[in-house]
Amino acid sequence: MWLLRLPGLVRVLERFGVLCRWRAGMTLDLSRLQERPRLPLGYEIVPWDGMRLREVALADHEAYLGTVDAHLYWQYFSTPAGCERMWREAISGRFGGFSPEHTRLLMHEGHVCGNVMSSLRSPSDGFIGNLSVVPAHRGGTGTALLLEALWSFKNAGVRRVSLAVTLDNRRAYHLYERLGFEIHGEFPLVVRPRGGIFIFG
């Protein structure tokens, strides 16, 4: 797997339509959580509402458009229908026991503009499956959204929360690191976009 760290090899793979990026699993001990959410004016964070699923999917599609994650997970993020399928898979338990109690929606003027998807893998272990904010609504909103979910987990007695991040997504990685998440493992994700080939290390 170390060969996949070589920039030259990664460039050769990309010439053949194969994308390789490293992802990291990160974990936060919730006893370390200190920061409280501060939401910019004009926004509110509300509990999960399954009736808004289509609106959530549209917001996810807009949030991921043009990003490296949109290419790595093209089967989800390339279309609103794919985003909706991701949520339906999450709700059915693909990423752990979906937790509507800890899942949150970011609202602006009555419309969904972001979300944080939460699951429980055990009574003491939470998981963040997705965090997204539409670009026009970024600027502290994503941090507040994530913190709302983390405090919800902590107040319910959950001790740890984990997630995975693409290391090229420096904005997300730095947010998680600043809040106290620590890397517990790294793995390559190799994909031929729209070719259906995934290799997990």
- Residue 130's CB is within 10 A of a number of other CB atoms, namely 23
The overall pTM is greater than 0.75: yes
- Residue 124's CB is within 10 A of a number of other CB atoms, namely 12
DSSP-derived pairing of the beta strands 182-192 and 160-166: unpaired
Is the confidence at residue 120, as pLDDT, over 90? yes
Is the confidence at residue 198, as pLDDT, over 60? no
Q: Worst-scoring range by mean pLDDT, 11-25, 29-43, 50-64? A: 11-25
Helix axes 141-155, 170-178, angle to 10 degrees: 40
Domains of the chain: 18-200 (3.40.630.30)
3-state secondary structure of 93: coil
Question: 195 pLDDT band (50/70/90 cuts)?
Answer: low
Judge whether 87 and 57 are in contact, CB under 8 Å. Answer: yes
Is the confidence at residue 2, as pLDDT, over 90? no
pLDDT at 18: 67
pLDDT at 187: 87
